Structure 1
């Protein structure tokens, strides 16, 4: 039986202002509930960009642009209504440690203790020729004010672009790793770290590492102990229940997967039909098709009452 009192808390679409602070920390719902957070609508100010609004509300660049496809990212305009997609279907991975859903470009942290909670932050991930690895690993070490030693491959790429890098970049405001970094136990040099370029958070732009806003990595760094499990998944299609309603959240695939559109649609349909094997519901086909086509990264109800 779904905890209905919990479900009711998740339903509202709120009207807000950009000055509100979104705490991206939620009580972890029961196992039969997969949604956390809420959608909000704010009105942009004259000086706002979508990128400014995203950072102020715990969102990444692509998240807010996908949620507002008809809004100019750089000049939304005073009074323009902006949808904040701060409602999420939790990834299907076990709710433990850190889970990074790479196409969603979002990190979920399930800290130990009671009451159980989930904390979530936007991240940047590896671009098409520098993929972020998938699989289960752990936090091997934690570094404060890290020194960056660019691998030879990155230095070679920079040299070809006419922007040569030194062999060592000291700690400081110009260090691409920011002030805090957590090294993963994967082979290779993969980190969860900060940045000196926060405007790029929530995009597929890194050399394989996961990059967070400076304020987010500082908070996460304090909470995550060495040895914490890290699970990196690829779920552009997420499915979850809230009370008696099935939701789907569809995010654009990673760049290296965009040529698999037919397979993408088939996987979405397979996920939905698999739910019918476990729980009877009436499918809202129009809502499902729209969610697959638009890929706005917003949970959409796809079941309906007869």
Structure 2
């Protein structure tokens, strides 16, 4: 754990959370079906020399999710002793809990390794960067078709042309080394030119800055590279609203949408997901308080205010 930093946990997690600052991603025991929350809220106090970029990497969170969870905290000079909330609690993404699941608005990857006989099922989560505007990361079901250590980068012609407009002439092949933007590890998807890879610019992890690829911290791509087999399914989704249950409490996690989705569309999705989840348990949403959660869009799982369904009296 970084020297002189104080890390606090607000409550005891229902399911185990294990991470080592600056090296490993968050690893959780996978909860049973019907329970959708992992992790626990935590926070730390900064040193004088810290920036939020330092904190993000040290605690395996991305830039966007850290700044959303800490509105008003200065990115470059948070100052000594500033309390910074660490977004280390997550609603699991919807759908099958298998393979790799990437949720674009969350800037986060989830890996569900298949447990060996007698082992406890786990989920491992990593912050990522995704494609910037006009270079979208493709939604859908894919798979890993190859893996490479110390890869060479063959920039597509479209990227070479974009760089040339800025006076940056890219070679046709960038060999392994410190100038290679793929970093030391890359895993290719069954889509032309799309990779899950490392980086020589870790400050950009957790942002919308790539040409469509998934970018990871160097230590994270090294870890997952050793865990994932060729043929692993990769499901890329765009779910700015995640809803899930834990201990009879309904949680919602709200992220700002990508530019392709309007606020009105997002609000409709928010309303539908919460209403349907509450009805299954015979409950109603306290909408004025729920709307405040929507408006804040902190990306942090928040308990949804509920009340028992009111049944009209029939004489």
Fold in common (TM above 0.5): yes
Counterpart for residue 50 of structure 1: 52
Q: Which moved more, 1:285-294 or 1:268-277?
A: 285-294
**In structure 2, distance between residues paired with 1:109 and 1:19:** 19
1:171 positional shift: 0.4
Larger Rg: 2
2:185 to 180, 184, 207: 180
2:101, 2:236 within 8 Å by CA — same for their partners in 1? Answer: yes
1:284 positional shift: 3.1
1:287, 1:300 within 8 Å by CA — same for their partners in 2? Answer: no
**In structure 1, distance between residues paired with 2:141 and 2:12:** 33
Counterpart for residue 110 of structure 1: 112
1:203 to 186, 204, 207: 207
Counterpart for residue 130 of structure 1: 135
2:150 to 145, 152, 160: 145
Counterpart for residue 121 of structure 1: 126
1:283 positional shift: 1.9
Q: How does 1:10-89 map to 2 (within 5 A)?
A: 10=13, 24-89=26-91
Counterpart for residue 5 of structure 1: none
Counterpart for residue 274 of structure 1: 276
1:166 positional shift: 0.8
1:127, 1:255 within 8 Å by CA — same for their partners in 2? Answer: no
Q: How does 1:190-269 map to 2 (within 5 A)?
A: 190-257=194-261, 260-269=262-271
Deviations 1:239-274 (A, max 9, x none): 0001111000001111333xx111110110011111
Q: TM-score, normalised by structure 2?
A: 0.89
2:101 to 89, 99, 103: 99
**In structure 2, distance between residues paired with 1:266 and 1:179:** 42
1:93 positional shift: 2.0
Q: TM-score, normalised by structure 1?
A: 0.91
Judged with a 3 Å threshold, the aligned counterparts in structure 2 of structure 1 residues 303 and 41 are, in CA distance, closer, same or farther, namely same
1:285, 1:302 within 8 Å by CA — same for their partners in 2? Answer: no
Deviations 1:4-40 (A, max 9, x none): xxxx84269xxxxx97987500000011110111111
Q: CA RMSD in A?
A: 1.8
**In structure 1, distance between residues paired with 2:25 and 2:207:** 21
**Long gaps (5+) in structure 1:** 1-7, 13-17
Counterpart for residue 160 of structure 1: 165
Aligned residues, how many? 291
Judged with a 3 Å threshold, the aligned counterparts in structure 2 of structure 1 residues 256 and 77 are, in CA distance, closer, same or farther, namely same
**Long gaps (5+) in structure 2:** 1-10, 309-315
1:305 positional shift: 5.5
**1:59 alignment partner, SS class:** coil
**In structure 2, distance between residues paired with 1:93 and 1:213:** 26
